[in-house]
Amino acid sequence: MIITLLSDFGSFYPAQIKGVILSRLQAKSGNIAGKITFVDIAHDIPAQDVRAGAFALLSTARFFPPGTIHIAVVDPGVGTARRCLVVESSGQMFAGPDNGLLIPAARSLGRPVAYEISLLPGASSTFHGRDVFA
């Protein structure tokens, strides 16, 4: 399984996202955690620059096979009432905020279908990359 990460988080916080994913998979599925390949698309997107993040994701997603999960978080609206999404397109999944970050890449692959993610109690209001999308 391939999971890509794209953010404006810099170098420190993406490790927390990877740790959460691996911990959850280890707890639920045992051996599957060892079969994850993480690909860091970029974590140096300019802070809150959704257009730059959307361009990076659009420019990269088409090179990945069906079954890839893309977690993308460039989110000036974190902590607000904006929605959290999972978008499926041509067998690839995109998880991130509903702010225009995901849709250009998803549309470039095919006909996207979007699903809203319900926030779980206890999720951070400021780190959805770790607490919601992972």
More confident of the two residues 10 and 61: 61
Task: Give dist(CA 79, CA 113) in Å, integer.
Answer: 24
Task: Give dist(CA 42, CA 7) in Å, integer.
Answer: 6
Model confidence over 50-107: pLDDT tens digits? 999 999 999 999 999 999 999 999 988 777 777 889 999 999 999 999 999 999 999 9
CATH code at 129? 3.40.50.10790
With beta carbons less than 8 A apart as the criterion, state whether 41 and 63 touch: no
Residue 47's domain comprises: 2-133
The amino acid occupying position 119 is L
Q: What is the mean pLDDT of the chain?
A: 87
Task: Give dist(CA 118, CA 84) in Å, integer.
Answer: 7
Two structure tokens written together for 27: 């707890």
pLDDT value at residue 77? 77
Burial class (CB in 10 A: 0-12, 13-18, 19+), 108: middle
Q: What is the DSSP secondary structure assignment for residue 118, as one 8-state letter? A: P
The pTM of this model reads 0.88
What is the DSSP track for 61-114?
HTTS-TT-EEEEE--TTTTSS--EEEEEETTEEEEEESSSSSHHHHHHHS--EE
| Number of domains forming the structure of the chain | 1
